Structure 1
């Protein structure tokens, strides 16, 4: 074992601050609350990088592997569990639809489509404000407090019994959950290198597949329950009605089983404590790392040329984001993946049930779809780690979904299991969504610009999720040919925009290479902490 490994505490400490008096303590408290400390995180990052460079580079390379493994085995599972809880809550609506949700809640026409969109109306409203807040406040603590509120709202689903109630509760859930995805995209870009981010994003987002499997099994178990005073779909939410005439029956039902929405809500609330105390805000304060390992973590991500986090709002970055043509290609891709997700996630049950299966069989047949998503996300996430394969992975991972949609259009209803298999292929959609989410994080530098682009991206993604369910016209049950054709066209548009975006990035990289815009390696590392945008930093290269 090297001396560095034996004695990491010997690394020099950051310059000691003056002995805190009352005013100093107040400023520290206000700095935490407002997110405007005098020592910006990028300044701290520069100091930590400088100290890391005092050590042997070969030793840093070896220790960086240990640091990466700690982050992979401690932080990544926390992100995965959080995202799994989020998606499990979203999917309950889809599974409930197989058990008479619309009839029992007196939904008519496209009411169900509006309920499916409600979560994304809330997400749309909260997406950009959350990104501004994420720039100003510590990510781990912010997510912890948000989970407390989200868990409480989730448990309120037990009081829902009609269309307006479902719409309202899912709207507020959407506002809260709008924080999670951008927070994780930003945190992933702070803890892992650009080469590592696609696979790590695939890991935490692939838990959608796990949620799909658990949700389908939960729905199947609920459908097997007999002799209950409430419809089977309510066991999925476990939403007991509060009508006075059925209050006694509700109490009897609750003695048979707990309310699933309350179970998910309680788990979310309890999980908030884990996130609050253990999820790091960045590499600078990861509790699972010692002082030396934190410096190594900062050294690792300095190669991204994005620094750690700049809490000061820079108006010019917003202007550059809005004038950058690549921003609008990202937004268009966000709309496309949103439309695809909004349609597939909310109408899988309706499609499969329309092939002639009962509610129980419909629930069970959705389980393999979760496995398709899990495997697809992991595989294409791994492919994206290869050199110049990020954009290509988005395109290649879209092909299974396209094949499935063509099958749904052309296969006869007589071959219903073949049609179900085509539905399973739609779950691979998780892969292009994940890889698309990676693009704003890895190819946008300058913290205000990055949060602006990510915020706008998720706004457009939510807009797509609102549009998606409305492609499924009620009078086209069970085949929904208009929706299938619309989703097929959306896939083609996504591939078209991705080709243009990747080509644009390639030409930009080539132009910078031709001009000989290369810096000394150490100089490049420090430039990332100056909060330069990808356009300002001539040594920045886009991931292809």
Structure 2
């Protein structure tokens, strides 16, 4: 558990929590392991769950961002002309997705904490794939707005859900790297999306009388539904209730999370208490504000195809040029997160790459020359995206247990962060093109603000750790206590 002041600093007894879903013999086996045996068993278990969880969620996250970002590529393919979009209507189409996206995140994570993830998450994958494919049938602006809103509603449970899901399987030292491996899928989706859209533009435009952007929605939506059905068979539930783990593996999976923070992830907290504990914790609101400032600056990503279109290339060439910038964070993000987990350290691993993002925004605002402008996109994607997964892992390590409170915290932080996506599209009106000076200056300022608040958060956590150290040194009881230490 976490708290906001000294009086409620997390203090829990170190004890073995015997989950009723796991036989006592399995718990006894874990307790009997020597340290070297425990490490070997833990490494074997991690390999087993990595093989099941990471590839499945990686593919689903690629599809999540493909469907979400299909509209910016469809703009290059001519959707705004075909539907007669004028003024800021395209910006509204981008924005309305996040209006729907924000609504369901906290309730969904609470529901997920009490549901089998192997059914809950794939069900929403199938739903959003269906909604995404239906965008191929829109005939005007209002139809597109409705579809985008419901796409946001159906996608809302997935991203905060998988973050919460990961934190229920991995320890604080394992979380950033695995989050970054998954989120690499979001960046690769940016590369794949451009290549897929270019192929569709070149080979399917007006096939069976349908414009290329309609084929884009159909193909990506149908593929998502198919993968959602497969995911329901592959994904696990919670450590104590996963059918393809042996009883001993279940006991080990639960025990290693308990040893990480001194508290069982299954330790019960009533829903009302979990919400109350999360809402009164200042760290959740501070992290939400940092995330909001970062995503305000990150709104540029929906307009990368629009910026690249100003280079004067053909539609196919423009779509191909949108791909390479997303390959950079696919590498840098993993390296930064790996280092963050190994130390473990969050603040500097989060803020230093963000400086590269600021450099990218400044370059984009000060020139319209093709080469430096294209280079600025690499700085933006490499810098901002490399920081993103570190922030998400920081949330998980700051709100480790119990499960219900962590679900509320993840959902709230992600919802607060994505509020920014409602207004950020309006920073890019057509009248400001091709330089979009105002937008890129705003992005640089919000990024700097997020960096400053990160150091405020680090200092708050450092002080809480110091207070907990002092309390432990003054504790003269015979009962061994363990207090959570926040990762700085």
Q: TM-score, normalised to structure 2's length?
A: 0.89
* TM-fit CA distance, 1:110: 0.9
Is the 1:278–1:287 Cα contact (8 Å) retained in structure 2?
A: no
Is the 2:177–2:341 Cα contact (8 Å) retained in structure 1?
A: yes
Q: Which of 156, 162, 170 is the matching residue for 1:192?
A: 170
- Given the superposition, is the C-alpha separation of residues 49 and 478 from structure 1 closer, same or farther in structure 2, using an over 3 Å criterion? farther
Q: What is the rounded CA distance, in whole Å, between the counterparts of 1:472 and 1:376 in structure 2?
A: 28
Q: Name the counterpart of 2:34.
A: 56
* TM-fit CA distance, 1:105: 1.2
Is the 1:473–1:483 Cα contact (8 Å) retained in structure 2?
A: no
Is the 1:118–1:170 Cα contact (8 Å) retained in structure 2?
A: yes
Q: Which of 40, 50, 58 is the matching residue for 1:80?
A: 58
Is 1:326 the equivalent of 2:304? no
Q: Which runs of 5+ in 1 are unaligned?
A: 1-39, 240-258, 525-536
Is 1:418 the equivalent of 2:375? no
Is the 2:200–2:212 Cα contact (8 Å) retained in structure 1?
A: yes
Q: What is the rounded CA distance, in whole Å, between the counterparts of 1:326 and 1:54 in structure 2?
A: 38
Q: Name the counterpart of 1:235.
A: 212
Q: Name the counterpart of 1:440.
A: 395
Q: What is the rounded CA distance, in whole Å, between the counterparts of 1:272 and 1:422 in structure 2?
A: 36
Pairs aligned (count):
466
* TM-fit CA distance, 1:119: 1.5
Q: Name the counterpart of 1:142.
A: 120
Is 1:467 the equivalent of 2:430? no
Is 1:263 the equivalent of 2:207? no
- Given the superposition, is the C-alpha separation of residues 82 and 41 from structure 1 closer, same or farther in structure 2, using an over 3 Å criterion? farther
Is the 2:365–2:436 Cα contact (8 Å) retained in structure 1?
A: no
Matches within 5 A, 1:325-344: 325-341=282-298, 343-344=299-300
Is the 1:106–1:162 Cα contact (8 Å) retained in structure 2?
A: yes
Q: What is the rounded CA distance, in whole Å, between the counterparts of 2:431 and 2:464 in structure 1?
A: 48
* TM-fit CA distance, 1:433: 2.0
- Given the superposition, is the C-alpha separation of residues 416 and 346 from structure 1 closer, same or farther in structure 2, using an over 3 Å criterion? same
Q: Which of 76, 79, 83 is the matching residue for 1:105?
A: 83
* TM-fit CA distance, 1:423: 1.2
- Where relative contact order (Cα < 8 A, 6+ residues apart) is larger, the structure is 2
Is the 2:361–2:444 Cα contact (8 Å) retained in structure 1?
A: yes
Moved more, 91-100 or 317-326: 317-326
Is 1:317 the equivalent of 2:317? no
- Given the superposition, is the C-alpha separation of residues 43 and 337 from structure 1 closer, same or farther in structure 2, using an over 3 Å criterion? farther
- Given the superposition, is the C-alpha separation of residues 313 and 277 from structure 1 closer, same or farther in structure 2, using an over 3 Å criterion? farther
Q: What is the rounded CA distance, in whole Å, between the counterparts of 2:184 and 2:30 in structure 1?
A: 34
Structure 1 residues 411-434: Cα deviation after superposition (integer angstroms, max 9, x where no partner)? 3x2x31221111122212222222
Query: What is the CA RMSD across the aligned residues, in angstroms?
Result: 2.6
Q: What is the rounded CA distance, in whole Å, between the counterparts of 1:144 and 1:222 in structure 2?
A: 27
- Given the superposition, is the C-alpha separation of residues 465 and 485 from structure 1 closer, same or farther in structure 2, using an over 3 Å criterion? same
Q: What is the rounded CA distance, in whole Å, between the counterparts of 2:379 and 2:20 in structure 1?
A: 47
* TM-fit CA distance, 1:224: 2.8
Is the 2:204–2:212 Cα contact (8 Å) retained in structure 1?
A: no
Structure 1 stretches of 4+ with a deviation exceeding 4 A read 40-51, 229-232
Q: What is the rounded CA distance, in whole Å, between the counterparts of 2:111 and 2:198 in structure 1?
A: 40
- Given the superposition, is the C-alpha separation of residues 292 and 43 from structure 1 closer, same or farther in structure 2, using an over 3 Å criterion? closer
Q: Name the counterpart of 1:307.
A: 264
Q: What is the rounded CA distance, in whole Å, between the counterparts of 1:491 and 1:274 in structure 2?
A: 39
* TM-fit CA distance, 1:277: 2.4
